A and B are shown apart, each in its own frame.
Chain A
């Protein structure tokens, strides 16, 4: 794979899109919101993959992907007249480190404590990075809304 812009990334986008549309139905959302939320989740995962290819750093990719998608959510959720947290919650689901959690547990079961600690650190770091990215975007949005109201 010499460039990340190929059909494989597109397919990954589709899988994230479809799985998050299923998730939206499970949390009782309905209407065209589901479409925009699923696009957000697909973008989240695709941006993560593309940045992972170029930077080779998981945390940086997670940070960039979450930041971009949080900005997308802040804009589109206001257009759809939906609470922003509804959008952000569903959109970051593909990056939530459920995979590392499972691998850590599997490593503990097979008595490989070094590997397990490695995966647990991954879980904490990825969760922390997602938090920081969302927090930054939320604060900046708050600030800019206040500035816009003032002038």
Chain B
């Protein structure tokens, strides 16, 4: 399927990159997937340079035809399901273009498929909110909580995940969102602590904090640095440190406030 216009190819390839990068893929993978897609369209000399906040790509077929596009990536969320779905799609595209010379997957169909993937939600919102509760509840048990503490941590997890969803709609930045999340964990846990007797507050708060811990940024930072993308490795490492600082700041502020109030 090498006969599609170069602008169209550049558009689709940078759309693939945008979806991957904004759902939290590593730089190496974004560059690889964009090059694969461009090669399938017949532009084998494509070069991509990706940082965590933007994509630079030159689509070229090796002769005089080439075009460059730059794309700024705004919000980044953790959406691992989308990463693996896009990888599947690109691999399928590659297999099909290797097998048959005729274009088996047309451009409009590919565009429609990308759009569908971008807006696909595998689980309903209420189920995701409840599984936030599952995560925090079982982390509470993991760190040595009792069953009563599990119940409280479950409730805290559900409340915090729901509140974070609402706060996410207001397009807060990442630092503030995590600080707010950690503060809410402490507020909910301390409030429930007033009414529920015989619970130890520590494990509940830790269970809630594990919901926010920057595991994804940390792993991405390491993998980026190891594959030689020093710019994005450093940027993601700093992101992980800042999220940790935000969590500490949010929970610390609320703990101190409750301390001053005398509970």
Contacts and interface: CB of A to CB of B under 8 A. Distances in A.
Interface of A: 12, 15-16, 18-30, 33, 45, 81-83, 85-86, 88-90, 92-94, 96, 98-99, 101-106, 108-109, 123, 127, 130-131, 134-135, 138-139
B192 interface: no
A89 B81 CA distance: 12
Given A15-B138, A99-B143, A105-B248, A29 B84 contact: yes
Given A12-B142, A21-B134, A134 B123 contact: no
A46 B203 CA distance: 19
**Do most interface residues of chain A lie in helix, strand or loop, or is the interface mixed?**
helix
Interface residues of B, number: 58
Contacts of B75: none
Contact of A123 (B80, B122, B244): B244
Name which of B143, B210, B212 has the most chain A CB atoms within 10 A of its CB.
B210
Interface string B131-160: 111111111011100000000000000000
- Counting from the closest, the 10 A-B pairs by CB-CB distance are A22-B134, A28-B81, A19-B138, A22-B135, A22-B131, A25-B131, A30-B122, A98-B213, A15-B142, A105-B252
Contacts of A18: 134, 138
Interface string B213-234: 1111011111101110000000
A103 B252 CA distance: 10
B127 interface: yes
A25 B82 CA distance: 12
Nearest to B81: A28
Name which of B142, B143, B214 has the most chain A CB atoms within 10 A of its CB.
B142
